[in-house]
Amino acid sequence: MKQEMMLIESQIELAPRIFELTLKGELVEQMETSGQFVHIRVPRSDLLLRRPISLAEVNHEESTCKVIYRVDGCGTRAISELVKGQEIDVLGPLGNGFTTDFVKEDDVIFVVGGGIGVPPLYELGKRLKDKKAKLVFLQGFGTKDAIFYEKEFSELGMLMIATDDGSYGYKGHTGHLIEKALKIYPNPTGVFACGPTGLLRAVEGAFSDHPHVYLSMEERMACGVGACYACVCQSKEDPTVNKKVCDEGPVFKSGEVII
């Protein structure tokens, strides 16, 4: 982990309120696992808490990484106003990412994402593709306008998209896509997911006895490094035991924590 003023190489609005930020710096050397995140300092002196944002892509040759984020509140709005050539204070990489050791060539892997939970699944997908796995991306969005990286994901594997309002792809949510994908591939070797709580519960429910299901959790964070207990969730085995999403997660094995 390192704190660095990273150079902004580009800032692009991919879809309404969805931005792709490319950063350059030495910190990239330490970005080893997909599913990790960075803690970004908001460029406003009155906003003290950093914002946790997942790594969407890492390029070690060029010392760059990309994050994709949605402008929700004042912190992400301030970040979205930065432009190429400016610098931003980044702490990272943080957290434990996705476990992919078990994946072998030709294994069928489901990668399930919802809305702004989709970004970390791109770097994950690239790494699984390097392992020659057969990838099935199942993605849910509110509406057509919120979709991003459709071409990028399609280049890595099969992509099925659902929208809540039916404006693109299947009408419905990712639970429906899982049912459809299971008809084509009834026994995926692994399942990875990132998105809202309802999506994570649907994945956990659909693959309850599966040995390789990994879920990326989101909790409000303060320190981001395991020191303040702002981000705890409960262990499923013993609900009196707390797990810190920032440093024991954000990725947990299904059944490890209460979602």
Q: Which residue has the tokens 């709005």?
A: 77
Residue 65 annotated as binding site: no
Binding piece for ligand FAD, criterion CB under 6 A, among 8-16, 50-58, 134-142, 179-187: 50-58
Closest approach, Cβ 205 to ligand FES, in A, equals: 27
- The verdict on 89 binding ligand FAD (CB under 6 A) reads no
Q: Which of ligand FES, ligand FAD, none has residue 244 at its interface (CB below 5 to 8 Å by kind)? A: ligand FES
**Contact between 6 and ligand FAD per CB under 6 A:** no
Rounded CA gap, 125 and 130, in Å? 9
Minimum distance between the CB of residue 15 and ligand FAD, rounded to whole angstroms? Answer: 12
- The yes or no reply on residue 137 touching ligand FAD (CB under 6 A) is no
Q: Indicate the SS3 state at residue 19.
A: strand
Cβ distance 193 to 139 under 8 Å?
no
Say if CB 144 and CB 167 are below 8 A apart.
yes
CB of 185 to ligand FES, least distance (A): 36
Flag whether 70 is marked binding.
yes
69 is in an annotated binding site: yes
- Per CB under 6 A, the list member of 196, 198, 226, 255 interacting with ligand FES is 226
Nearest-10 Cα torsion for 149, 154, 157, 162? 80
Q: Which of residues 170-229 bind ligand FAD (CB under 6 A)?
A: 218-221
Rounded Cα distance between 101 and 103, Å, is 6
Which residues does 205 contact at the CB level (< 8 Å), separation at least 6?
Answer: none
**Least spacing, CB of residue 33 vs ligand FES, in Å:** 18
Q: Does residue 246 contact residue 95 with C-beta atoms inside 8 Å?
A: yes
Phi, psi (deg, nearest 5) at residue 84: -45, 135
Tell which one of 88, 103, 116, 128 touches ligand FAD (CB under 6 A): 116
For residues 143 and 165, give the distance between their C-alpha atoms in angstroms, rounded to a whole number: 6
**# residues near ligand FAD by CB under 6 A:** 22
Q: What is the binding site for ligand FES (CB under 6 A)?
A: 221-224, 226-231, 244, 246
